[in-house]
Amino acid sequence: MNYMEEKTKAGEYLRLALNYITKHNLPATPVNYAVWYEYVSGKNIKLKKAIDHSLKNAGPINNVKVEGLYQKYVVDGDRIVISNLLTKISLMLKDISNHVSETKEDLAENGKSLNELAVKINDAKNFNEIRCIVDQMLAETKGLLQSGKRLQTRMRISSEDLKQLQQELEKSQQEAQTDALTGLINRRGLEKKLEIERIRAKQNDLPFSIIMVDIDYFKRVNDTFGHLVGDSLLRGIAQILKTHLRQNDIAARYGGEEFLIILPETGIKGATTVAKKIQKTLATKEWKLRKSGETMGKITVSMGISLYRMNEPEASLIKRADDALFIAKNKGRDQIVIQKEQEEF
């Protein structure tokens, strides 16, 4: 578990996590801290859904339950998926091996019978004996063909199973890199995309830009309207980000109410244009509660932009964008700041 929030935000998450630990009369152990920290920060969507389900159904949340959540959603999430896939592969390989062995035994038996008939044919004395041998040869040959057809059918089925398994593997990999709430890629997927862009930048000598986006006063939305409305807002912001991106641009949920946009082959000027479009869209959008129609007020975001420097580590690139975002927040929010120049728009 890698926690990369700035100190103020991390402190807030810690306070909320400890509130939940106290509320449910749990000891402040590392496991309880990890589970509730990921819950309040919104980092782990599957964990959040599981806990919300328990809270909604008034189920007891004790040490045993938290430990189970920790093993399933914090530690073993990917391992369970991989284990299930490996089990399927193992069973499939065993099945194919059995089919081949059975066919091999059938072929060996048919081959032995044909060899015996080859000896008998030399001793045949009349047409009846010859005809009998030929009939047996036809039967054995038919057996060979049937064994081959059975193996072909079984292998065809196995091939279809393998294709399905491959699709399951691809789906599992995609899910592991996708944020369940917003549909954007998550931090794990982001790391892979950034590495690809770093390689492309080096090969083509074309740097890229990133934009760190943070929803202003998001905690206020959660406190005023509830976490479900907050989740809906996150999905809405994610959709707005996607509408302003090109086909090759990438939007990711970085954690909590933070997003990160990768703009391949784009300089500061292009990145600033994208950021301004997002800012303009939010300035004219009216946010209302779906059921009551009650207005939520104006929703704004703060943005920090950084341009990739050739051979720069990923962490350094993100830190510069995060530093610029921090400046935007301190200057009153709803602003765009470039790092390192710190030019405000």
Q: Which CA distances in Å does 310 have to 100, 182, 317?
A: 54, 31, 10
User: Which SS3 state, helix, strand or coil, does residue 207 take?
Assistant: coil
Find out whether 257 and 280 touch, Cβ atoms under 8 Å: no
User: Which SS3 state, helix, strand or coil, does residue 338 take?
Assistant: strand
User: Which SS3 state, helix, strand or coil, does residue 161 take?
Assistant: helix
Find out whether 252 and 260 touch, Cβ atoms under 8 Å: yes
Q: How many CB atoms lie within 10 A of CB 101?
A: 10
The pair phi, psi for residue 38, each rounded to 5°, is -65, -30
Kindly give, in sequence order, each residue whose CB lies less than 8 Å from that of residue 222, ignoring residues fewer than 6 positions away: 229, 230
Q: How far apart are CA 244 and CA 168, in angstroms?
A: 31
Q: How many CB atoms lie within 10 A of CB 47?
A: 21
Q: What residues are annotated to the active site?
A: 257
CA atoms within 13 A on the CB side of 335: 16
Please calculate the CA angle 57-58-62 and round it to the nearest 5 degrees: 120
Find out whether 211 and 304 touch, Cβ atoms under 8 Å: yes
Q: What is the CA radius of gyration of the chain?
A: 31
User: Which SS3 state, helix, strand or coil, does residue 203 take?
Assistant: helix
Q: How far apart are CA 341 and CA 197, in angstroms?
A: 23
Peptide bond into 94 cis (omega under 30): no
